[in-house]
Amino acid sequence: MSLYNKRGVSAQKEEVHAAVQNLNQGLFANAFCKVYPDFLGQDENFINVMHADGAGTKSILAYLYWKETGDITVWKGIAQDAVVMNLDDLLCVGIYDNIVFNSTIDRNKHLITGQVLQQIINGTQLLFDTLKEFGVNIHYLGGETADVGDVVRTVAVNGTMTCRWPKNKIISNQKIKSGDVIVGFASYGQATYESEYNSGLGSNGLTSARHDVLSKFYAENFKESYDNDLGEDVVYIGKSRLTDLITVNDEFLSVGKLILSPTRTYAPVMKGLLQNHFDKIHGLIHCSGGGQTKCLKYLPANYKIIKDNLFKAPPVFDIIQQNSGSSLNEMYEVFNMGCRLEIYCDKSDAQTMIDAAKAFNIDAQIIGRVEASYKKELVITSNNEEIWY
């Protein structure tokens, strides 16, 4: 059994998918988000989308970092994580504007102060103010903040996004076909709208990252930060403290800063592409839960996905793998490995997508292609090794 499963989490969320398999799959079964008829406006030319997601266990890392360093501003990044994990999923069905957001914050009041709540709530609005400069309008309509210390050890930060959108402007992934190339957008670096280097980790696989990288110091001093029923062999088994320094691009960055880099949104880039090149985009995949294997869930037919030109994984993933000893197979299944958005399109249109990303200082390249197959399958080439899923 993998360390990930031993900790009570699943990259593929098999049990969750089994629980919802009998529910209505919406208008477009292969779309990245569930798309419904226009219940709100009763117009057959429009659709409704409501999507829920959050920062996951990354909030526990923020808690540890705050306690160790006193830097309360780290919680603004958690606010961004909760928003972007919703927003960038919506981008993948073509939605980029006039969105409603409601937050849900569950906290243990004895550990999470009112000042932390202010950082999260104000950080959410700050991100929306920034996105508005790029024509991405998100309306913050409040939400629920609950003191549930009997349920939550520290804090859970989540949100819901709702939008009404023209039906003929939805990316359903139904146009993905044999012969398409896959343009990947890097998750790391520093986009023009980011204030500092982004490690590219995002908000998935943080249970693994936290326990594999951080040392027993955190098990001994912060019992509230993990499930105390877990065995010592899977709890904080790494060598690092959050304050340890790592050299990245000739700069010294702390392990905490790398692991807590706020999840990058691609909204400023995708707004332009969806407005001006909608018909060139055959499919969109957000490499979130399930990492580089996420694409298999949204293919419209039996295709073989070949990813043989992925970005070199940025340092944060090397740190995680070196500490955990995880195989490449598991790393690519849990983490985005430096590429968190995929655009499926004709090869002749790939440069348009690449240029759009690079205009915002986001690296982009053709990372793979789609081929006909008798089943849905994925092969990733890394370090001259072929990994099959």
Residue 43 lies in a domain: yes
Residue 151 lies in a domain: yes
Residue 220 lies in a domain: no
**Which among 273, 270, 353 has a CA at the least distance from the CA of 91?**
270
Residue 248 lies in a domain: no
Q: What is the pLDDT of residues 274-308, one digit of tens each?
A: 999 999 999 999 999 999 999 999 999 999 999 99
**Whole-number Å distance between alpha carbons of 269 and 309:** 22
Amino acid 21: pLDDT: 66
Residue 221 lies in a domain: no
Amino acid 14: pLDDT: 60
pTM for this predicted structure: 0.93
Q: In the chain, what percentage of residues exceed pLDDT 90?
A: 89
Please measure the distance between the N-terminal and C-terminal CA atoms of the chain and give it in whole angstroms. 17
Bridge partners for 51 per DSSP: 161
Amino acid 311: pLDDT: 97
Higher-scoring residue by pLDDT: 236, 324: 236
**Which among 387, 292, 283 has a CA at the least distance from the CA of 339?**
292
Please give the tally of structural domains in the chain.
Answer: 1
Q: What is the pLDDT of residues 82-107, one digit of tens each?
A: 999 999 999 999 999 999 999 999 99
- CATH number, domain with residue 269: 3.30.1330.10
Answer yes or no: are the C-beta atoms of 51 and 101 closer than 8 Å: no
| Strand boundaries in the chain, DSSP class E | 36-37, 46-54, 99-107, 138-147, 155-166, 181-186, 245-248, 251-254, 283-286, 303-307, 339-345, 364-372, 377-382, 385-388
Host domain of residue 363: 3-196+260-388
Strands 364-372, 155-166: parallel, antiparallel or unpaired by DSSP?
A: unpaired
Residue 237 has pLDDT above 70, yes or no: yes
**Whole-number Å distance between alpha carbons of 60 and 139:** 27
Q: What is the pLDDT of residues 11-42, one digit of tens each?
A: 555 665 566 666 777 999 999 999 999 999 99
Residue 154 lies in a domain: yes
pLDDT band per the 50, 70, 90 thresholds, residue 320? very high
**Whole-number Å distance between alpha carbons of 387 and 389:** 7
**Which among 16, 94, 35 has a CA at the least distance from the CA of 286?**
94
Q: In the chain, what percentage of residues exceed pLDDT 70?
A: 94
Residue 3 has pLDDT above 70, yes or no: no
What is the secondary structure of 192-240 as a DSSP string? Answer: TT-SS-B-S-TTSSHHHHHHHHB-THHHHH-GGGS-TTS-GGGSS-SSB
**Which among 18, 160, 1 has a CA at the least distance from the CA of 90?**
160
Q: What is the pLDDT of residues 154-168, one digit of tens each?
A: 999 999 999 999 999
Residue 226 lies in a domain: no
Residue 206 has pLDDT above 60, yes or no: yes
Residue 218 lies in a domain: no
Residue 72 has pLDDT above 60, yes or no: yes
* 28 phi/psi in degrees, rounded to 5: -130, 105
